[in-house]
């Protein structure tokens, strides 16, 4: 049984090789056709241009320990470190919030000796009766043309925008940088506003508590004008009030410092990213990568050619193979049918 299976397998392999040798022209024709189509498509496709820029996110650490308490109490945005990680910018650059703003803005490019002005849906040639669908199409097209990356070692974030119009790719990249910076400034302002409100409420409460302790210490000194140090109980009470007053003053000063810092941050408009590489209009188009793409096309063409030969041979022998298939299926469904017939005889 094993010999028959091995013999049949070797026979099938030899048969396939012989079929391919006999029908080599079919394989060659399919191979040449696939490569020719690839060359035509690559040659007729418009050249694309990629614009690259990079930046480093600036970090700002708040030294006030009160912000940790605020975060524990659930104050929105009250975190000790408001710096965003590079991965945050990588995700933000491809988010619908940012891409949607880019798609809605108006651009101006030069093409064919004339100036074209409009939003990205118009410049991309997206024609929809519903403006929302056109905007959606522009966002998806923009998402495929925007590339992001960052270096874990240096923290540098890289932005790449690819388009058939080099000036459009440059302008989109430049506005993307501006939107990332503006978004972060807005986020920090909102955080600073939350911190300011929290510290203002907390400082008012601490001021009342401080006044209560000061009044208690004042009454103690008025009631004990003599040398109260000779009395252990009075001495301990005096030290306790002094310690409580010192703690209240320290907490109150910390909160007031945080309040003033929050007011400054709320009005601050300084950039929160440092530009490392400005976007520049590219002088050369991107490489078409003919060698790599033709290599893939050659593999696909050869595979399709071999498949075509096998299909042709299968169709040619379909009658014989069909009968053989029925016999094999019958053996699987009723494996003891032949034995039963022999027994009956």
The answer to whether residue 220 scores a pLDDT higher than 90 is: no
CB 158, CB 148: distance < 8 Å: yes
The one-character DSSP state at 290 is H
How is residue 235 written in tokens? Answer: 């001495």
The one-character DSSP state at 228 is G
Query: pLDDT tens digit string along 293-304?
Result: 778 888 888 888
The answer to whether residue 53 scores a pLDDT higher than 50 is: yes
Task: Check residue 273 and give its pLDDT.
Answer: 81
The one-character DSSP state at 112 is T
Query: Distance (Å, rounded) from C-alpha 16 to C-alpha 225?
Result: 116
- Residue 302: exposure state from Cβ atoms within 10 A (0-12, 13-18, ≥19): middle
CATH number, span 49-277: 3.30.1890
Give alpha helix (H) positions in 2-111.
Answer: 2-22, 24-44, 66-72, 86-93, 96-104
Query: Distance (Å, rounded) from C-alpha 341 to C-alpha 335?
Result: 12
CB 127, CB 148: distance < 8 Å: no
- Residue 263: exposure state from Cβ atoms within 10 A (0-12, 13-18, ≥19): middle
Query: pLDDT tens digit string along 234-258?
Result: 888 888 888 988 888 888 898 888 8
How is residue 147 written in tokens? Answer: 């590339």
Task: Considering only residues 143 and 314, tell me which one the structure prediction assigns the higher pLDDT.
Answer: 143
Task: Check residue 46 and give its pLDDT.
Answer: 78
Confidence band, pLDDT 50/70/90 cuts, at residue 335? low
* Location of each CATH 3.30.1890 domain in the chain: 49-277
Query: Distance (Å, rounded) from C-alpha 175 to C-alpha 102?
Result: 7
Task: Check residue 44 and give its pLDDT.
Answer: 66
Report the pLDDT averaged over residues 155-178: 92
Query: Distance (Å, rounded) from C-alpha 89 to C-alpha 187?
Result: 13
How is residue 305 written in tokens? Answer: 């050619």
Helix pair angle (2-22, 24-44), 10° resolution = 60
The one-character DSSP state at 229 is G
Confidence band, pLDDT 50/70/90 cuts, at residue 62? very low
Query: pLDDT tens digit string along 100-112?
Result: 999 999 998 887 7
CB 102, CB 142: distance < 8 Å: yes
CB 82, CB 62: distance < 8 Å: yes
Task: Check residue 38 and give its pLDDT.
Answer: 76
Query: Distance (Å, rounded) from C-alpha 263 to C-alpha 301?
Result: 67
Report the pLDDT averaged over residues 310-328: 66
- 311 SS3 class: helix
Task: Check residue 84 and give its pLDDT.
Answer: 67
CB 89, CB 58: distance < 8 Å: no
Neighbours of 335 (CB within 10 A): 9
Closest CA to 202 of 63, 61, 65: 65
Query: pLDDT tens digit string along 174-202?
Result: 999 999 988 888 877 887 788 888 888 88
Segments of the chain assigned E as strands: 49-57, 107-111, 114-118, 146-150, 157-163, 273-277
């Amino acid at each position: 049984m094993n010999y028959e299976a091995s013999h049949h397998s070797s026979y099938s392999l030899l048969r396939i090789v012989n079929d391919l040798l006999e029908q080599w022209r079919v394989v060659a024709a399919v191979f040449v056709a696939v490569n020719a189509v690839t060359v035509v498509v690559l040659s007729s496709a418009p050249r694309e241009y990629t614009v690259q820029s990079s930046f480093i996110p600036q970090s700002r650490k708040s030294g006030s320990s009160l912000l940790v308490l605020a975060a524990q109490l659930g104050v929105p945005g009250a975190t000790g470190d408001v710096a965003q990680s590079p991965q945050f910018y990588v995700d933000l650059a491809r988010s619908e919030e940012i891409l949607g703003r880019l798609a809605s803005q108006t651009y101006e490019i030069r093409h064919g000796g004339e100036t074209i002005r409009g939003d990205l849906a118009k410049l991309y040639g997206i024609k929809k009766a519903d403006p929302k669908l056109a905007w959606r199409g522009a966002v998806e097209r923009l998402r495929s043309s925007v590339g992001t990356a960052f270096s874990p070692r240096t923290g540098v974030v890289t932005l790449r925008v690819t388009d058939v119009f080099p000036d459009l790719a440059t302008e989109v990249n430049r506005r993307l940088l501006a939107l990332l910076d503006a978004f972060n400034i807005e986020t920090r302002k909102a955080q600073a506003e939350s911190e300011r409100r929290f510290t203002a409420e907390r400082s008012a409460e601490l001021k009342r508590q401080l006044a209560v302790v000061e009044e208690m210490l004042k009454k103690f000194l008025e009631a004990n004008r003599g040398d109260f140090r000779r009395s252990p109980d009075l001495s301990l009470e005096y030290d306790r009030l002094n310690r409580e007053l010192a703690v209240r003053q320290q907490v109150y000063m910390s909160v007031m410092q945080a309040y003033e810092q929050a007011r400054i941050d709320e009005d601050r408009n300084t950039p929160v990213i440092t530009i490392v590489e400005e976007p520049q209009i590219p002088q050369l188009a991107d490489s078409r990568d003919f060698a790599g793409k033709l290599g893939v096309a050659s593999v696909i063409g050869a595979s399709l050619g071999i498949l075509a030969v096998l299909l042709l041979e299968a169709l040619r022998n379909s009658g014989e193979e069909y009968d053989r298939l029925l016999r094999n299926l019958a053996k699987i469904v009723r494996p003891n049918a032949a034995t039963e017939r022999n027994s009956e005889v």
